[in-house]
């Protein structure tokens, strides 16, 4: 029995398959790896190519209101030169530029491959005149940004703030009182009601000078509803031929006074 077992073991050892000396290639796996390496190479090449000097900004064109920008405005854009046209965060540049140039409402950057930028500056438009003393007048836009001081009054609606209010060029009015005054002024414009001046009286009273007299508004009530009521009253008054001298909206129902 022992000899037979030993003989069988020798035969099994003889016919046992030996390890291959060669590396067997699985074509499906090889194809997958080749495609992966090829894709990776293309991506790396693309990134390297896009980051090359070919796509660094060389030419900057600047326009404001369809006219070429000033030399000072061009100089403020010089930081963009040599920046990569694909990998530069232009939003950060926009934020910094607008913070430093209160006269500009927004700017649009258009990329022209391979290395050009076209920049359009959109300036703020004066919408109102504001003052605190009836002597010093400042231009502001619809967003409440003070654009500059004027000596000759232009034909714009006026807003008068209390003497304690400070007005500075470049400042954006952001107090509750000033925002309410701007909202009222814009609402009057939206309803096509011409007004000459809004006088702000703290804390919430706004006296509006219109062609026929005065209208008194309260910021404790909805401006849109008050102005809509004013429009209706003026329309009816013109039809009836009775022009009100004063209309007070501070109460539950408007109080109308005639000459």
Task: Tell me the pLDDT tens digit for each residue of 232-249.
Answer: 999 988 878 788 899 999
Dist CA 26 CA 236 (whole Å): 91
For CATH 3.40.50.11690, list the domain ranges present in the chain: 128-258
User: Parallel, antiparallel, or unpaired: how do β-strands 205-210 and 195-201 relate?
Assistant: antiparallel
Asked whether residue 47 carries a pLDDT value surpassing 80, the answer given is no
Q: Is 105 helix (H, G, I), strand (E, B) or coil?
A: strand
Dist CA 96 CA 219 (whole Å): 34
Asked whether residue 49 carries a pLDDT value surpassing 80, the answer given is no
Superfamily of chain region 53-123: membrane protein fhac (3.10.20.310)
Q: What angle do CA 196, 203, 222 make, to 5 degrees?
A: 70
User: Binning pLDDT at 50, 70 and 90, where does residue 4 land?
Assistant: low
Mean pLDDT is lowest, of 9-13, 21-25, 206-210, 226-230, for 9-13
For the record, the structure tokens of 256 come out as: 């109308």
For the stretch 221-232, pLDDT in tens is 999 999 999 999
Q: How many residues does the chain have?
A: 259
| Percentage with pLDDT > 70 across the chain | 87
Dist CA 185 CA 143 (whole Å): 11
Q: Is 143 helix (H, G, I), strand (E, B) or coil?
A: coil
For CATH 3.10.20.310, list the domain ranges present in the chain: 53-123
DSSP state of 154: P
Among candidates 245, 241, 206, which has minimal Cα distance to 227?
Answer: 206
For the record, the structure tokens of 128 come out as: 């109102």
pLDDT score recorded for residue 5: 53
Mean pLDDT is lowest, of 43-57, 68-82, 96-110, 212-226, for 43-57
Domain 128-258, CATH: 3.40.50.11690
The count of other CB atoms within 10 Å of the CB of residue 98 is 15
For the stretch 100-122, pLDDT in tens is 888 899 999 999 988 999 999 99
For the record, the structure tokens of 172 come out as: 């954006």
User: Binning pLDDT at 50, 70 and 90, where does residue 12 land?
Assistant: low
DSSP state of 84: B
| Percentage with pLDDT > 90 across the chain | 50
Dist CA 56 CA 51 (whole Å): 8
Per the prediction, the chain carries an average pLDDT of 85
């Amino acid at each position: 029995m022992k000899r037979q077992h030993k003989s069988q073991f020798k035969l099994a050892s003889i016919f046992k398959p030996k390890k291959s000396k060669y590396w067997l290639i699985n074509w499906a796996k090889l194809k997958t790896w080749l495609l992966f390496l090829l894709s990776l190479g293309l991506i790396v090449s693309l990134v390297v190519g896009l980051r090359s000097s070919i796509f660094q900004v060389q030419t900057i064109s600047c326009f404001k209101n369809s006219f070429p920008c000033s030399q000072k405005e061009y100089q403020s854009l010089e930081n963009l030169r040599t920046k990569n046209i694909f990998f530069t965060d232009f939003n950060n540049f926009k934020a910094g530029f607008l913070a430093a140039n209160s006269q500009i409402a927004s700017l649009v950057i258009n990329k022209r491959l391979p290395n050009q930028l076209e920049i359009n500056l959109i300036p703020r438009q004066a919408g109102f005149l504001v003052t605190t003393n009836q002597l010093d007048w400042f231009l502001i836009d619809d967003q409440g940004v003070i654009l500059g001081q004027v000596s000759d009054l232009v034909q714009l609606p006026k807003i008068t703030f209390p003497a304690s209010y400070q007005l500075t060029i470049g400042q954006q009015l952001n107090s509750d009182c000033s925002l309410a005054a701007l909202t009222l002024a814009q609402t009057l414009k939206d309803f096509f009601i011409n007004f000459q001046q809004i006088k702000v009286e703290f804390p919430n009273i706004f006296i509006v000078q219109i062609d026929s007299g005065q209208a008194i508004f309260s910021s404790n009530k909805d401006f849109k509803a008050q102005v809509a009521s004013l429009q209706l009253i003026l329309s009816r008054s013109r039809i009836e031929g009775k022009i009100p001298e004063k209309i007070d909206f501070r109460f539950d129902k408007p109080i109308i006074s005639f000459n």
